[in-house]
Structure 1
Amino acid sequence: MLGATAPPPLTEQRTGVSFPGELEYCAGHDGCPIIAGAGARTKKIAGLKSLDVYALALFVDQGAVRSSLGGMFSGTDAASLAQDQRLFDELLRHEDIEKTLHIVITSGVVKQKAFLSALEERLKPRLQAAGQLAALDTFKRQFDDAAFRKGLEITFTAQGDKLTTTIDSMQVGAIASPELTRTLLDVYLGADPASKGAKESIGHGLASMVLA
């Protein structure tokens, strides 16, 4: 069944990366996750000015967002809701809402080891506390054969308690770990996001969906 008109592609302003309005595998069909917002991960590197290391976007099932979260935030104005941490926390808590994080590497300086080390620094404390370090080891092994380069595309899709990883359109693993899934998305949607600009953009998109 064909769905409603999808939003147009969104160009991330700092990097110029263009993200589609909806995920390509299900484009044009009901329930296909659409883009909520996008931004860039910027890092200061010794001897260089701040570098945009990758662009990122979040895609969510709009219908599921509205049905699961709409009643909870009814009566809230969009501007306030976009900045309300409860919105992001509830999104992560609801496993019935499909969520896909799409990352595009935008600098040749980014190497596999540095990318994984930065994620591990954020993931390890919570996974260790939850006794889920094995999930972290499995997560990192998915990248063993990935040759990092400018333009490399990585997607993390959360469906139920499962996190599926795809690199350049090839699925490299699926891990059933609710804690890993929530912790990874919290890196970008939590109180201390890896990209404040991306979180702000995603917040506005989510608020529009919830209050539509």
Structure 2
Amino acid sequence: MLKGEDSMRGNLVITIGRQCGSGGKMIGQKIAEKLGVKCYDRELLTKAAKESGLCEELFETHDEKPTSSFLYSLVMDTYSLGYTTSAYMDMPINHKIFLAQFDTIKKLANEESCVIVGRCADYALADYPNTASVFITGNDEDKLKSIKDLYNVDDAKAKDIMVKTDKKRSSYYNYYSSKKWGDSRSYDMCINSSVLGPDGTADMIIAFAKAKEAQNKEKAE
């Protein structure tokens, strides 16, 4: 496993957890544009597939989907042992995909400053000092409007999409991490995007992340 504290001291990584319809991806992209860095969302799947040698379609199929068929502790024990063990070879494909993404997230943090949306990135980078973990919420009426506009659906379908997507993300996060999805104690910062809008929310997150980065530098000196 990669050592975070020394290898990425100069990199600032912002991880974003988000409720469906809160504009998390768009806000992540705005943050990345303002900072002049890359935003990784589904792009992470392509990168993880390339680096792991697994088929990209498998990453798409299993993206942020949990399972209850395998113990989390066994997954992480196998991760610590490496990918050539018989335990890894016998592991269900969704766990192989999680570990591949876990590795890719760590490698990204060591290589560059960036924004990473979803996929337990905050948990993967828990030991990396210059990571600012953020969870974005929104008022239900704003989230539903966003979903209706994006998918061209009615109120009932939009609510169904919102509830099912949040349930899927919550189950995935709660299963693979040691924290609870959406709980303020799981993140450095929780913010309601309905209050300031996408641009204002992005600016607030940047200000917070830079303040945390500056504080880390002071502690290190």
Superposition TM-score, scaled by structure 1 size: 0.26
Greater strand percent: which structure? 1
Greater RCO, 1 or 2 (C-alpha within 8 Å, sep 6+): 2
Greater helix percent: which structure? 2
Rg larger in structure: 2
